[in-house]
Amino acid sequence: MLSADTSTRPEGDLLMYKHVLIATDGSPLSERAVDAGIALASTLKAALTIANVGAPYAPPLYAGDLVPNNYLTANEHDEKVRTAGQEVLDAAQAKAGKAGLTADTAFEIADEPADGIIKIAKDRKADLIVVASHGRGGLSALLLGSATRRLLSSANIDLLVVRNHDGDEG
With cut-offs at 50, 70 and 90, classify the pLDDT of residue 153: confident
Distance CA 34, CA 50 (A): 8
**Whole-number percent of the chain with pLDDT over 90:** 59
pTM: 0.81
Q: Which residues, at least 6 apart from 26, have a Cβ–Cβ distance to it below 8 Å?
A: 52, 84, 87, 88, 91
Q: Which residues, at least 6 apart from 130, have a Cβ–Cβ distance to it below 8 Å?
A: 20, 21, 22, 23, 33, 36, 37, 40, 159, 160, 162
| For the chain, domain boundaries | 19-56+71-162
12 DSSP 8-state letter: T
154 versus 164: the higher-pLDDT residue is: 154
Closest CA to 127 of 69, 60, 41: 41
Q: What is the pLDDT of residues 15-50, one digit of tens each?
A: 689 999 999 999 998 999 999 999 999 999 999 999
Classified by CATH at the fold level, domain 19-56+71-162 comes out as: Rossmann fold (3.40.50)
Measured over the CA atoms of residue 112, residue 117, residue 123 and residue 125, the dihedral's sign is negative
Mean pLDDT, the chain, integer: 83
169 versus 135: the higher-pLDDT residue is: 135
